[in-house]
Structure 1
């Protein structure tokens, strides 16, 4: 599975939301992510992709859409 598919599946598993039709929509404004959900997502992504996401890297405006989350994971995996 590619990163995009895995991130979408992870969001669906954690929050029971299919975001495939809303890849550029703000997940906080849509009610999918909140502060607790963000922590859950970070922990799950760190385990799934074997990456470390510094809190300073996870600004709400930087990771607020599915596409931005996918890009962030790809960047950290390539670092």
Structure 2
């Protein structure tokens, strides 16, 4: 599941560094924004079958790839 989540993040952002630095600050580096969050959640639902509403997630839950992986894994 970890690789799939990373693939989704790279697919949305076009930033391969996400796979190289799992602690990169996605928002501080300008990689993720509010639109990217929605796109991410849509792709998670499509590709992993896991529906998460935007209101169920806080920015802190996915501020790094590692945190996003942990959050999604706990929800699955």
TM-score band, normalised by shorter chain: 0.7 to 0.9
TM-score by length of 2: 0.87
- Deviation track 1:27-75 (CA, whole Å, cap 9, x = no partner) reads 0111110011111011111111111213343101121110111111111
Residue 76 of structure 1, CA deviation: 1.0
Residue equivalent to 2:25:
26
Higher relative contact order (CA 8 A, sep 6+): 1
- Deviation track 1:16-37 (CA, whole Å, cap 9, x = no partner) reads 1111222112101111100111
Extract structure 1 runs of 4+ deviating beyond 2 A: 54-57
Give the root-mean-square deviation of aligned CA atoms: 1.2
Aligned length: 75
Quote the Cα distance in structure 1 between the aligned partners of 2:68 and 2:47: 14
Would you tell me which structure has more helix in proportion to its own residues? Answer: 2
Moved more, 36-45 or 50-59: 50-59
Q: Which runs of 5+ in 2 are unaligned?
A: none
User: 1:52 aligns to what SS in structure 2?
Assistant: coil
